[in-house]
Structure 1
Amino acid sequence: MAFDAIAGVAHPPAGDPTGIVLLTHGAGGNRDSPMLVRLCDEWAARGWLAVRYDLPYRRRRPKGPPSGSAAADQAGIADAVDLARSLTAGPVLAGGHSYGGRMTSMAVADGLPVEGLLLFSYPLHPPGKPERARTEHLPRITVPTVFTHGTSDPFATIDELRAAAALVSGPTEVVEITGARHDLGSKTVDVPARAVDAALRSLPG
């Protein structure tokens, strides 16, 4: 399969794909995160080839927190985008949950070429430590960026997240999931549908 090189699982659409969406996981998770699976199913239903993949540290070790350097994980994200570019002439969107989204946002800030950035439960600061905001790179992001965030997420309040999103140089949208925590679980909201709707709105044309 084309995505074995990035430890990726593809969710193909019924017909020719509009483009490719690449999503990766949070610090303690992997590509089989239930939310990533649901997001990729939703993207495939909308006509996109969606791929959920493991970051380099997770390929080395099946469990545990990130090990090694953030630069190596960002290089793994760049490899995924390069692979997607080789397979489609359409748009490539990239992002991820928590740590995976943060690493993708840093790669995009440094010039990784994608048409859109998808950030789920962006870990703006460690829980209880708002003074340690991870925002330095956000002004260098120029592509459309969608933040999907729960109102009960300890890694950022909605107000904190909106202030951080305002630092991004490109267009942004915040998808607010009432009552959801960091895992974005909700019994009342179709989180993947709302997130994909926002992402499609963000694309030019």
Structure 2
Amino acid sequence: MTVDASLAPIDGIAHEPDNTPHGVVVLTHGAGGNRDSPMLVKVCDEWASRGWLAIRYNLPYRRRRPKGPPSGSAAADRAGIAEAVALARTLTEGPVIAGGHSYGGRQTSMAVAGEGSEAPLVVDVLTLFSYPLHPPGKPERARTEHLPRITAPTVFTHGSADPFGTLDELTAAVALVAGPTELVAIPGARHDLGSKTSNVPALAVDAALRLLA
């Protein structure tokens, strides 16, 4: 893992492969977390082991304050995501994959969908971990309006015990996405995707590579 000066604008940390990278993956964190989330570290390690440059980075609100929930404009966070993808494109001639955990994944998906007046963010694969389909216990508040505008291949990695959406609810939401999709179900996992029986990073990376192919 390295902290490179070129990653300073996105407060990023790179996981470098042994040889020339096949492409670049940029991943960000959930609402209460940061780039050092154990899940992000493990997923980036997995991507690097497959020959990809993997970067985990902090969203703009986390760059402003080390703790606490998202503050300020979600549009500003999406601008930070677009900045990370633009930076990734300067580092490779290969594919660029983007996504994140929970809030970070949701905002990345909204950027890819072209939320509001924003131009759609172009990525080769979108990879979402624990997509927060609705607030816990409030399935009527589904966060799905933008999903039909997503045309990029999209992976949803989701735990069967996640209070932010059941697997049945998520399956219905995934069907709204216009592009190719794959749902990676993790039995027994909650929102943090911790599992003693499933290799979550490997399963998620496998799915992303299938969609890329």
TM-score, scaled relative to structure 1 = 0.99
Residue 114 of structure 1 and its aligned partner are, at CA, apart by 0.5
Among 17, 25, 28, the alignment partner of 2:29 is: 25
Quick one: percent identity of the two aligned structures?
Answer: 76
Cα distance in 2 for partners of 1:4, 1:40 equals: 18
Q: Which residue of 1 aligns with 2:117?
A: none
Specify the code of the residue in structure 1 equivalent to 2:64.
R
- Give the SS at the match of 1:64: coil
Structure 1: gaps of 5 or more residues: none
Question: Which residue in the other structure is 1:167 paired with?
Answer: 176
* Equivalent position SS for 2:140: coil
Q: What pairs with 1:1-205 in structure 2 (closer than 5 Å)?
A: 1=4, 2-110=6-114, 111-204=120-213
Q: CA deviation at 1:124?
A: 0.3
Count matched residues: 204
Shift of 1:86: 1.2
Write out per-residue CA displacement over residues 9-51 of structure 1, whole angstroms, 9 at most, x where no aligned residue. 0000000000000000000000000000000000000000000
Distance 1:126 1:162 in 2: 17
Q: By how many angstroms is 1:5 displaced?
A: 1.1
| Cα distance between partner residues in 1 of 2:12 and 2:111 | 19
Letter in 2 for 1:22: V
1:58 positional shift: 0.1
User: Separation in 2 of the partners of 1:92 and 1:139?
Assistant: 21
With normalisation by structure 2, the TM-score equals 0.95
Q: Which runs of 5+ in 2 are unaligned?
A: 115-119
1:84 is matched by which residue type in structure 2? A
Q: What secondary structure sits across from 1:22 in the alignment?
A: strand
Over residues 103-136 of structure 1, what are the superposed CA-to-partner deviations in whole Å (9 max), with x where a residue is unaligned?
0000000110100000000000000000000000
> What amino acid maps onto 1:115 in structure 2?
D
Taking the aligned partners of 1:56 and 1:80, their CA distance within structure 2 comes to 11
